[in-house]
Amino acid sequence: MAQSSSTTIGGENLLFLTDEQLRKGIEAMFFAYRGFTADPDRILEEHGYGRAHHRALHFINRTHGTTVNNLLAILGVTKQSLNRVLRTLIEDGLVESRVGRTDRRERNLYLTEAGCELERALSEAQRERMRAAYRAAGPQAVAGFRQVLEAMMDDEIRGQYASLKDRRK
């Protein structure tokens, strides 16, 4: 007789999730995100910045020399919103905008030393939290968690994520 391909964790059959089980997952994501952003939020507040500044710093660091247009596509924000964030980061000496080498109309973005320091502090706070959670959950749960997150992404966003996760500094 063939075995069922369903998995049971904590008494819950994962192929046939009830609305209540899904609500619990949604609520867990809300509260986990709150915890995930709490430490960086405190650091950002000290500098008068918000989460948009954090996201910009993260992706500029992740993709050295990225263009403003590429950052717009990654962040999914309006040009006006991104310009406001970038203007502040540039004025505060955290980001440098350089004229493109191949297309002089493009602006390539780089973190300055101060920008790298702030980004490192923000990311380290999140890495510590994730490291502890991953260690507690174990390798199988870590792989499953990433798989769930990737499955929740829209196709276009999953493509952007895939191109980022394959890049190495």
Say what the pTM is. Answer: 0.81
State pLDDT tens for residues 115-135. 999 999 999 999 999 999 999
3-state helix, strand, coil in the chain (%, to 5): 65, 10, 25
Q: Are residues 28 and 56 in the same domain?
A: yes
State how far the Cα of 163 lies from the Cα of 134, in Å rounded to an integer.
Answer: 23
State how far the Cα of 66 lies from the Cα of 124, in Å rounded to an integer.
Answer: 22
State how far the Cα of 16 lies from the Cα of 7, in Å rounded to an integer.
Answer: 10
State how far the Cα of 113 lies from the Cα of 102, in Å rounded to an integer.
Answer: 25
Residue 7 lies in a domain: no
Q: Are residues 98 and 117 in the same domain?
A: yes
Q: Are residues 111 and 146 in the same domain?
A: no
- What's the domain count of the chain? 2
Domain, as residue range, for 147: 138-169
- Which ranges of 108-166 would DSSP assign to H, the alpha helix? 113-137, 139-152, 155-165
State pLDDT tens for residues 38-94. 999 999 999 999 999 999 999 999 988 999 999 999 999 999 999 999 999 999 999
Share of residues in the chain with pLDDT > 70 (%): 88
Residue 62 lies in a domain: yes
Q: Which residue has the higher pLDDT, 5 or 10?
A: 10
The residue behind tokens 């500094």 is 169
Residue 32 near residue 126, CB atoms below 8 Å: no
